[in-house]
Amino acid sequence: MRLGPAAVSTGVVFERLDLPGQPEVRARPENLTESCQCTALAEGGVRVSTVEHLLAALAGLGADNVRVVLDAEELPMLDGSARPWVELVERIGLRVQPEPRVYLRLTRLVRAQAGDRWLEARPARELSLDCAVEYDHPLIHRQRCVFVNQPEAFRRSLAPARTFGFLRDVERLNAAGLALGGSLDNALVLDDFSVLNPGGLRFPDEFVRHKTLDLLGDLALLGAPLLGRVNASRAGHRLHHALVERLAGEDGCLERVSFARPGEAAAVLEGLAIPNLQSA
């Protein structure tokens, strides 16, 4: 796959090079589709899946308009974090575009809930995320991550955090013939007491940092940066999608605003990159 520039107001668009006519799938709330523990999009019957970590990297670095050309349905998992995407975008560079960036300003509280798991978005001057997770595991227990979206903070605090899974689930999935590509190279894997990855954790709270990264990527489906504070308690992709659909679908809860001050114009990737990124 490769990343390239797109015109102002395009947002992120995926192009399937492997299908006749090279159909496009836009990263938009109405294209959210059924998926298994990831974020998948479909438009006109064409699917693109596992988009959330790339979308998080683009949102974290402030890249608004990007064309993603790929020759498969699924994006590469890489190391399970957004760090390789950040390195790729930084190698290409960003270009400031001549139009002011458009933001989505929340006008009131919007909530999504499933049992004791919930997400709440409320008006604020900038995008901030406050996520909490709770797992009955000695390395996790309760963790909380508060993140204000700024490129440097994203690069340092969220991008390196990897997706994680439990060995018992991996064994169950393998028995069912699924997740065969999953390995210690593209996820943190935990047994009942410890991390199996030889290098250990990148942060003691890598788990909640990754959940925060996932939320940032899923919110990027709104098509423009959100101005609001989002609190999440034990949420996951399914609940993130419910919130995104509610924000996009409920009349009057989002207002499009832009600021004419320099430095707030939309940015675009400058060139194409075709590195030998291999899906693990």
Q: Which is nearer to Zn ion, 206 or 214 (CB)?
A: 214
Q: Toward Zn ion, which CB reaches closer, 81 or 97?
A: 81
- Alpha carbon distance 116, 233 (integer Å): 8
| Cβ distance to Zn ion smaller for residue 101 or 211 | 211
Please report how close the Cβ of residue 69 comes to Zn ion at its closest, in angstroms.
22
Question: Could you tell me if 265 and 101 are in contact, meaning their C-beta atoms sit under 8 angstroms apart?
Answer: yes
Active site residues: 237
107 contact partners, CB below 8 Å, separation of at least 6: 123, 252, 253, 254, 255
Binders of Zn ion among residues 199 to 218 (CB under 5 A) are 214
DSSP string for residues in 5-37: E--TT--EEEEETTSTT--EEE--GGGEE--SS
**Looking at beta carbons only, is 163 or 186 nearer to Zn ion?**
163
Smallest distance from the beta carbon of 15 to Zn ion, in angstroms? 23
Kindly indicate which of the ranges 105-113, 116-124, 159-167, 224-232 contains the residues binding Zn ion, using the contact rule CB under 5 A: 159-167
Q: Output the smallest distance, CB 168 to Zn ion, in A.
A: 19
Pick between residue 79 and residue 120 the one whose CB is nearest to Zn ion: 79
Number of residues that bind Zn ion (CB under 5 A): 2
Per residue, the 3-state secondary structure of 218-271, as one string, reads HHHHHCCCEEEEEEEECCCHHHHHHHHHHHHHCCCCEEEEECCCCCCEEEEECC
* 120 contacts Zn ion (rule: CB under 5 A): no
Amino acid identity for residue 50 in this structure? T
Beta strands per DSSP E along 91-234: 94-100, 102-106, 110-114, 117-123, 128-135, 141-148, 164-166, 188-190, 226-233
CB of 53 to Zn ion, least distance (A): 6
| 35 is a contact residue toward Zn ion (CB under 5 A) | no
Partnered with residue 142 across adjacent β-strands are: 134
Q: Which of the ranges 28-36, 155-163, 195-203, 266-274 carries the binding residues for Zn ion, by CB under 5 A?
A: 155-163
- The 3-state secondary structure of 147-169, one letter per residue: EECCHHHHHHHHCCCCCEEEHHH
Contact criterion met (CB below 8 Å) for 202 and 187 = no
CA atoms of 258 and 261, how far apart (whole Å): 9
| Per CB under 5 A, 163 contacts Zn ion | yes
Least CB distance from residue 164 to Zn ion, whole Å? 9
Residues that bind Zn ion (CB under 5 A): 163, 214
